[in-house]
A and B are shown apart, each in its own frame.
Chain A
Amino acid sequence: MNVPVANESAQLLSVRNLRKEFPIRKGVLSRQVGAVKAVNDVSFDVARGETLGVVGESGCGKTTTGRTILRLIEPTSGEIRFEGRDVRSMSTSQLRKLRRDMQIIFQDPVSSLNPRMTIGAIIREGLTIHKLAEGAAADARVSRLLQEVGLRPEYANRYPHEFSGGQRQRIGIARALSVDPKFIVCDEPVSALDVSVQAQVINLLEDLQREHNLTYMFIAHDLSVVEHIADRVAVMYLGKVVELATAEDLYREPLMPYTQALLSAVPVADPKARKERIILQGDVPSPANPPSGCVFHPRCHHPSKDAACTAIVPPLEEKTPGHFAACIKQSPTTVSWEQQKNAGGVNPPERYLPLAAVHA
Chain B
Amino acid sequence: MTPPLLSIRDLRTYFYTEAGVARAVDGVSFDVGAGETVGIVGESGCGKSVTALSILRLIQPPGRIEPGSRIEFEGKDLVTLGDEEIRHIRGNRISMIFQEPMSALNPVFTIGDQVAEVARIHAGLSRRQAWDRAVETLALTGMPAPEDRAKQYPHQLSGGMRQRVLIAMALIMKPALVIADEPTTALDVTIQAQILDLLVHLQKEFGTSILMITHDLGVIAETTSRVIVMYAGEVVEQAPVDELFARPHHPYTEGLMHSMPHIGHDQDRLNVIPGTVPAPTNWPHGCRFRERCPYSWERPEREHPPLYDVGAAHVSRCHLAVEPERRNNPHAPLVVVEGVGAA
Give me the interface of A with B, judged by CB distance under 8 Å.
Answer: 57-58, 150-152, 155, 158, 162-164, 166-167, 194-200, 202-203, 206, 221, 223-225, 227-228, 247, 251, 261-274, 277, 279-280, 282-284, 358-360
| Chain B interfacial positions (CB closer than 8 Å to A) | 43-44, 144, 158-161, 188-194, 196-197, 215-222, 241-242, 245-246, 255-257, 259-264, 266-267, 269-274, 276-277, 336-338, 340-343
Q: Please indicate the chain A residues that have their CB under 8 angstroms from the CB of B216 in the complex.
A: 267
Closest partner residue, chain B, to A258 (CB atom): B190
Q: Which residues of A contact B221 (CB under 8 A)?
A: 267-271, 273-274
Which chain B residues lie closer than 8 Å to A206 at the CB level?
269
Across the interface, which residues of A come within 8 angstroms of B267, CB to CB?
228
- Taken together as a complex, chains A and B put the C-alpha atoms of A263 and B255 apart, in Å, by 25
Given contacts A272-B242, A283-B160, are A266 and B343 in contact (CB under 8 A)? Answer: no
Q: Once the chains bind, are B259 and A199 in contact (CB under 8 Å)?
A: yes
Residue of B nearest to A170 (CB): B338
Residue ID in chain A nearest B193 by CB atoms: A265
Name the residue of chain A whose CB is nearest to the CB of B341. A162
Cβ contact within 8 Å between A224 and B189: no
In the complex, the answer to whether B189 meets A269 with C-beta atoms within 8 Å is no
**In the bound complex, do residue B336 and residue A195 qualify as a contact, i.e. CB atoms below 8 Å apart?**
no
Given A271-B241, A283-B161, A197-B192 contact (CB < 8 Å): no
> Which B residues are in CB contact (< 8 Å) with A247?
266
B196 cross-chain contacts in A, Cβ below 8 A: 267
Are the C-beta atoms of A194 and B270 separated by less than 8 Å? no
Within 8 Å CB of B220, what residues of A? 269
Residues of chain A within 8 A of B43, CB atoms compared:
194-197
A166 to B261 Cα, complex, angstroms: 18
The answer to whether A283 touches B264 (Cβ under 8 A) is no
User: How far apart are B325's CB and chain A's nearest CB, in angstroms?
Assistant: 26
Q: Is there an interface contact between B270 and A271, defined as CB atoms closer than 8 Å? A: no
Contact A164 B257 (CB under 8 A): no
Residues of A within 8 A of B264 (CB): 251, 358-360
B269 touches A203 (CB 8 A): yes
Question: What are 23 A-to-B residue pairs whose CB atoms are below 8 Å?
Answer: A57-B189, A151-B338, A166-B276, A194-B277, A196-B43, A197-B276, A200-B272, A202-B261, A202-B270, A223-B263, A224-B263, A264-B193, A266-B263, A267-B192, A268-B218, A269-B221, A271-B222, A274-B222, A279-B194, A279-B197, A283-B158, A358-B264, A360-B264
Contact residues in A for B255 (Cβ distance below 8 Å): 196
Q: Whole-angstrom distance between the alpha carbons of A297 and B264 in the complex?
A: 27
Inter-subunit contact A271/B259 (CB<8 Å): no
Q: Say how far B118's CB is from chain A's closest CB, in angstroms.
A: 25
Q: Which residue of A lies closest to B196 (CB)?
A: A267
Complex contacts, A197 vs chain B, CB 8 Å: 43, 276
Find chain A residues with CB under 8 A from B337 CB.
150-152
Closest A residue, CB atoms, query B217: A269
CB within 8 Å for A224 and B242 given contacts A163-B340, A199-B272: no
Cβ of A256 to closest chain B Cβ, rounded Å = 13
Q: How far is the CB of B133 from chain A (nearest CB, A)?
A: 25
Assess the B219–A167 pair: CB atoms within 8 A. Answer: no
Residue contact B338 to A162, C-beta cutoff 8 Å:
no
Q: Which residue of B192, B246, B259, B262 contacts A195 across the interface (Cβ within 8 Å)?
A: B259
Measured between beta carbons, the chain B residues less than 8 angstroms from A225 are 261
Which residues of chain B come closer than 8 Å to A267, judged between CB atoms?
192-193, 196, 216, 218-219, 221-222
Q: Please provide the 6 A-B residue pairs with the shortest distance between their CB atoms, ordered closest to farther.
A: A267-B218, A359-B264, A199-B259, A265-B193, A57-B188, A196-B273
- Flag if A203 contacts B270 (CB, 8 Å): yes
Cross-chain contact B222 with A268 (CB below 8 angstroms)? yes
Which of B193, B262, B269, B271 is the one whose CB lies under 8 Å from A224? Answer: B262
A194, B215: Cβ atoms closer than 8 Å? yes
Chain A residues, CB < 8 A from B266: 227-228, 247
CB <8 Å contact, A277 and B193: yes
A262 pairs with B190, CB closer than 8 A: yes
Q: Which of A58, A199, A261, A282 contacts B260 (CB 8 A)?
A: A199
Q: Is the CB of A265 within 8 A of B189?
A: yes
The residue in chain B whose Cβ has the minimal distance to the Cβ of A229 is B261
Q: Which residues of chain A are near B188, meaning CB under 8 Å?
A: 57-58, 221, 284
In whole angstroms, what is the CA distance A298 to B261 when docked? 32
B263 CB contacts on chain A under 8 angstroms = 223-224, 227, 251, 263, 266, 268, 359
Instruction: Report the separation of the CA atoms of residues A270 and B246 in the bound assembly, to the nearest whole angstrom.
Output: 9
Q: Tell me which of B241, B242, B271, B336 contacts A150 (CB under 8 A).
A: B336
Chain B residues contacting A203 (CB-CB under 8 Å) are 269-270, 272
Q: In whole angstroms, how far apart are the Cα atoms of A58 and B159 in the complex?
A: 10
Are the C-beta atoms of A194 and B44 separated by less than 8 Å? yes
Chain B CB within 10 A, most for which of A58, A224, A271: A271
Q: Are B192 and A269 in contact (CB under 8 A)?
A: no
Q: Are A162 and B340 in contact (CB under 8 A)?
A: yes
Residues from chain A with a CB closer than 8 A to the CB of B144 are: 282
Please measure, in the bound complex, the distance between the C-alpha atom of A18 and the C-alpha atom of B219, giving whole angstroms.
37
Given A150-B338, A199-B272, A270-B245; A228-B218 close (CB under 8 Å): no
Chain A hits for B222, CB < 8 A: 267-268, 271, 274
**Chain A, residue nearest B255 (CB):** A196
- In the complex, how many angstroms separate the beta carbon of A126 from the nearest chain B beta carbon? 23
Whether A277 lies near B197 (C-beta < 8 A) is yes
**Closest CB-CB distance, A353 to chain B, in whole Å?**
14
Which of B197, B260, B342 is in CB contact (< 8 Å) with A269?
Answer: B260
CB distance from B240 to the nearest CB of A (A): 9
CB nearest to B244 among chain A residues: A271
